[in-house]
Amino acid sequence: GIENATGTGKSLYSGTVSLTTNLSGSTYQLYDTTRGGHKTYNLAHKTSGTGSLFTDADNVWGTGAASSSSTDQTAAVDAAYGAQETWDFYKSTFGRSGIKNNGVGAYSRVHYGNSYVNAFWDDSCFCMTYGDGSSNTHPLTSLDVAGHEMSHGVTSNTAGLNYSGESGGLNEATSDIFGTGVEFFANNSSDVGDYLIGEKIDINGDGTPLRYMDKPSKDGGSADSWSSTVGTKDVHYSSGVANHFFYLLAEGSGSKTINGVTYNSPTSNGSTVTGIGRAKALQIWYKALTTYMTSTTNYKAARTATLNAASALYGSTSTEYKTVAAAWSAVNVS
Ligand code: ASN
Ligand code: ZN
Ligand code: CA
């Protein structure tokens, strides 16, 4: 049957969280009927199929510790929490009801394969899948990663940015921008909002994040600014131009400390950019993505799309419009 319940999740990355679950008979299910029917499944180290729905007798899920056990609930807690917060972020920030804006939820699968160090969105299953990371004890289920993966579904169902060349970089950046938006939105004291991607999952084995939005080149591969060859890079590196644009638009250039993390964002043209705040920057990116970008949008066209969005939202003589122009110029997109 369907009976909403409030479970307690002991997550790996986000502390103890509240999860909306379903009570079916005397068994709780990791099934959220209040958010489009999102379900969390256990692949138990397989790499195909849907897996089995997580169930529990007392509605207290996970242990808060990493485990390679195929029955482990902790990775499922993080994935379910990520899907829940991402759903709420899109609803409350943009009035968007799920990935397709039709009220229908996706589903998530955890414990994919063995020591699989990645997570991914798949349009064909309309689902997100998470590997367990190295030694099966570093699942790629942190909040920003979950928000990143689910946002690939949103991009697929809106602009449809092709996943190669400059449009691919814009596709990747969109996932980093909204994944970061989710992290700030959740306001979780164990996983505070930042402009770093994957800072919790220790993918490099030395505690460093996967990506940096204030200065993308800190990862050793990403582009801080546009050049004519940026589209030949892997999409996770060409995304740097738009991630850097977004950071500058929201927070401005130079040094700034947010939630205890100090950023130092350069500009390619020596200019100073004063940020308009994350909330307005998110609205501009979302409107550009959902109204003005197409599958073939490149960096030059993204500049036009975000200027159109800023004009529609705040007016063509607004500070917001002028800052969009200045932030693109600061990453060498004119
Ligand atoms: N985790 C990666 C991503 O979402 C998977 C991929 O390369 N598409 O970008
Ligand atoms: Zn991605
Ligand atoms: Ca982050």
- The CATH number covering residue 135 comes to 3.10.170.10
Low-confidence residues in the chain, pLDDT < 70? none
End-to-end CA distance of the chain: 57
Which pLDDT value is given to residue 206? 97
* 146 in the same domain as 9: yes
Quick check: CB of 307 below 6 Å from ligand 1?
A: no
Q: How many Cβ atoms from other residues are within 10 Å of residue 229's Cβ?
A: 9
Q: Structurally, how many domains does the chain consist of?
A: 2
Residue nearest to atom 2 of ligand 1 (CA): 120
* 194 in the same domain as 86: no
Ligand 1 center from residue 217 Cα (angstroms): 19
Ligand 1 atom at shortest distance from the alpha carbon of 121: 4
φ/ψ of 165, rounded to 5, equals: 60, -155
Active site residue 149: yes
* 313 in the same domain as 169: yes
* 220 in the same domain as 289: yes
* 8 in the same domain as 63: yes
* 147 in the same domain as 196: no
Which residue, 156, 179, 207, sits at the end of a domain?
A: 156
- Domain containing 313: what range? 165-330
Quick check: CB of 119 below 6 Å from ligand 1?
A: yes
Which residue, 121, 156, 191, sits at the end of a domain?
A: 156
The Cα 80–Cα 170 span in angstroms is: 27
Q: How many Cβ atoms from other residues are within 10 Å of residue 315's Cβ?
A: 11
* 128 in the same domain as 173: no
pLDDT digits (tens, 9 = 90+) for 290-307: 999 999 999 999 999 999
Quick check: CB of 72 below 6 Å from ligand 1?
A: no
Which residue, 109, 124, 156, sits at the end of a domain?
A: 156
The CATH number of residue 314's host domain is: 1.10.390.10
Which pLDDT value is given to residue 52? 98
- Quick check: pTM over 0.95? yes
* 10 in the same domain as 147: yes
Amino acid at 73: Q
* 92 in the same domain as 69: yes
Active site residue 236: yes
Q: How many Cβ atoms from other residues are within 10 Å of residue 174's Cβ?
A: 28
The Cα 146–Cα 113 span in angstroms is: 18
Ligand 1 center from residue 120 Cα (angstroms): 5
CB-based contact 330:269 (threshold 8 Å): yes
Which pLDDT value is given to residue 315? 98
* 176 in the same domain as 241: yes
Ligand 1 center from residue 313 Cα (angstroms): 31
Which pLDDT value is given to residue 183? 98
Instruction: Name the residue among 259, 267, 274 with its Cα closest to residue 199.
Output: 259
* 198 in the same domain as 88: no
Of 86, 108, 121, 127, the one to substitute when testing ligand 1's pocket (max ligand atoms within 8 A of C-beta) is: 121
pLDDT digits (tens, 9 = 90+) for 132-183: 999 999 999 999 999 999 999 999 999 999 999 999 999 999 999 999 999 9
Of 118, 132, 219, the one to substitute when testing ligand 1's pocket (max ligand atoms within 8 A of C-beta) is: 118
Q: How many Cβ atoms from other residues are within 10 Å of residue 4's Cβ?
A: 12
Ligand 2 center from residue 276 Cα (angstroms): 26
Which pLDDT value is given to residue 75? 98
CB-based contact 236:152 (threshold 8 Å): no
Quick check: CB of 149 below 6 Å from ligand 1?
A: yes
